[in-house]
């Protein structure tokens, strides 16, 4: 019931997708109290939420999901009705460099949250919900045809996707074993504002702008299925309010692109915006050593979500991409802030060996 007041813990709310989810819930549901619990790792940035930070129904709590006493204290203080769990290590390339960091946060952190929520709500699960936000990467890698459905067996192939698959299994285990009310969603690649520039689209925008090489892994023929981040946030809102407990829902935009085609599209959009001659930015494209174990293709079948709950994406990719480019061009202060420190060290390690 959307009219009831609720207190919701949103983990990872200072990150890319989390900040869009926090903003949507804070502005759309003034009757809810939204507690953003985030450890503020390199990927967390409170600057993403400047516009809503003083809203009366919003609170930020710096908290690491692995830290049992701290999470327990938050459950006692706020008496959460629900958790929307987005906090994670999210970058595949970093998971190849430092896999245990992914086990720590994505597996142990999720189990810790489940354990504390289960104990806090034990004996009365009425009105309670643990919503776990996951990824299509748990399903593995597709050939040139076919789609991932909710029934596709899990086949994760990177330390990142293995850690997310593991977290999904723990969520379902808490449901089957202890009756915890859970919902899970698995979404395809997101893009949009506030996306950390270590991921394909914002990294390419930043490098085109700065006339730096555009590192395309392998032949650039890997395929991803792209969804505008606000459409993912809307899907989470829909599933949170209308989804069936114990179910999982795929989220995606039926919008597949080869990496090289996206990079070329970005180059032509940015040539126009930057007043460069056609083809100038594309000269920066540089093929580099492939990502180890690089999944060939992801493609989500989101029919269940559409048929059962009526959600569909709102935006065409070309329009979303242009809006995204405009956001980055207009927010160079944000980019400068997040590309200092840890990011520079990561960038040197990741790309100078290639």
Q: Which parts of this chain interact with ligand NAD (CB under 6 A)? A: 11-12, 14-18, 38-41, 43-44, 64-66, 86-90, 105, 109, 133, 135, 164, 187, 189-190, 196
DSSP state of 310: -
Do the beta carbons of residue 48 and residue 192 sit within 8 Å?
Answer: no
Least distance (Å) between residue 144 CB and ligand DAU: 15
- 291 counts as binding ligand DAU under rule CB under 6 A: yes
Active site residue 137: yes
Of these, 216, 229, 236, 270, which contacts ligand DAU (CB under 6 A)?
216
DSSP string, 262-307: HHHHHHHHHHHHHTPPTTTGGGGEEEEPPPTT---B--B--HHHHH
CA-based max dimension of the chain? 66
- 92 counts as binding ligand DAU under rule CB under 6 A: yes
> 222 Cβ partners below 8 Å, 6+ apart?
258, 259, 294, 295, 296, 297
- 188 counts as binding ligand DAU under rule CB under 6 A: yes
* CA Rg value for the chain: 20
DSSP reduced 3-state for 324: helix
Q: Which residue has its beta carbon closest to ligand NAD? A: 15
Least distance (Å) between residue 17 CB and ligand DAU: 9
Q: Which is nearer to ligand NAD, 6 or 132 (CB)?
A: 132
Q: Which is nearer to ligand DAU, 156 or 181 (CB)?
A: 156
Least distance (Å) between residue 54 CB and ligand NAD: 20
- Find which of ligand NAD, ligand DAU, none residue 66 binds, CB within 5 to 8 Å per kind: ligand NAD
Which residues sit opposite 248 in a β-bridge? 184
Closest CA to 167 of 8, 12, 295: 12
Active site residue 4: no
- Burial class (CB within 10 angstroms; exposed 0-12, middle 13-18, buried 19+) of 274: middle
Of these, 203, 208, 233, 270, which contacts ligand DAU (CB under 6 A)?
203
From 29, 131, 139, 160, the catalytic residue = 160
Active site residue 295: no
- Find which of ligand DAU, ligand NAD, none residue 157 binds, CB within 5 to 8 Å per kind: none
Least distance (Å) between residue 152 CB and ligand NAD: 15
- Site track 237-276 with ligand DAU (rule: CB under 6 A), x = hit: ----------------------x-----------------
From 38, 81, 136, 168, the catalytic residue = 136
- Find which of ligand DAU, ligand NAD, none residue 185 binds, CB within 5 to 8 Å per kind: none
DSSP string, 41-70: -TT--GGGGGGGTT-TTEEEEE--TT-HHH
Helix axes 229-242, 16-28, angle to 10 degrees: 60
- 71 counts as binding ligand DAU under rule CB under 6 A: no
Q: Which residue has its beta carbon closest to ligand DAU? A: 135
Calpha distance 243→6 (Å, rounded): 17
The helix, strand and coil proportions of the chain, stated in percent and rounded to the nearest 5, come to 45, 20, 35
Least distance (Å) between residue 214 CB and ligand DAU: 8
From 81, 137, 225, 301, the catalytic residue = 137
Residue 41: HSE in the Cβ half-sphere, 13 Å Cα cutoff: 17
Least distance (Å) between residue 354 CB and ligand NAD: 22
> 123 Cβ partners below 8 Å, 6+ apart?
none
Least distance (Å) between residue 236 CB and ligand NAD: 9
List residues with catalytic annotation.
136-137, 160
Residues that bind ligand DAU (CB under 6 A): 90-92, 135-137, 188-189, 199-200, 203, 215-217, 222, 224, 259, 291, 298
């Amino acid at each position: 019931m959307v009219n009831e007041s609720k207190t919701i813990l949103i983990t990872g709310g200072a990150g890319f997708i989390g900040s869009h989810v926090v903003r949507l819930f804070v502005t759309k549901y003034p009757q809810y109290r939204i507690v953003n619990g985030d450890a503020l790792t390199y990927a967390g940035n409170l600057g993403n939420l400047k516009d809503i930070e003083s809203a009366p129904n919003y609170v930020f709590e710096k908290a690491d999901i692995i830290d049992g006493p701290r999470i327990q204290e938050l459950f006692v203080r706020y008496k959460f009705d629900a958790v929307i769990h987005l906090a994670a290590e999210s970058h595949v390339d970093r998971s190849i460099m430092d896999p245990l960091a992914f086990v720590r946060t994505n597996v142990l952190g999720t189990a810790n949250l489940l354990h504390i929520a289960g104990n806090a709500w034990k004996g009365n699960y009425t009105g309670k919900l643990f919503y776990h936000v996951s990824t299509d990467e748990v399903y593995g890698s597709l050939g040139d045809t076919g789609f991932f459905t909710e029934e596709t067996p899990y086949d994760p192939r990177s330390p990142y996707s293995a850690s997310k698959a593991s977290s999904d299994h723990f969520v379902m285990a808490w449901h089957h074993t202890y009756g915890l009310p859970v919902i899970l969603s698995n979404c395809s690649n997101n893009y949009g504002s506030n996306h950390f520039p270590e991921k394909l689209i914002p990294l390419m925008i930043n490098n085109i702008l700065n006339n730096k090489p555009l590192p395309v892994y392998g032949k650039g023929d890997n395929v991803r299925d792209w969804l505008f981040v606000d459409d993912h946030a809307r899907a989470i809102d829909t599933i949170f309010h209308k989804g069936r407990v114990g179910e999982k829902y795929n989220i995606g935009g039926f919008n597949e692109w080869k990496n090289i085609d996206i990079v070329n599209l970005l180059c032509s959009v940015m040539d126009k915006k930057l007043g460069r001659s056609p083809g100038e930015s594309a000269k920066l494209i540089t093929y580099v050593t492939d990502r180890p174990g690089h999944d060939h293709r992801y493609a989500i079948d989101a029919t269940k979500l559409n048929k059962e709950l009526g959600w569909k994406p709102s935006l065409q990719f070309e329009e979303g991409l242009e809006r995204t480019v405009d956001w980055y061009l207009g927010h160079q202060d944000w980019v400068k802030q997040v590309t200092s420190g840890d990011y520079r060290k990561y960038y040197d390690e990741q790309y100078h060996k290639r």
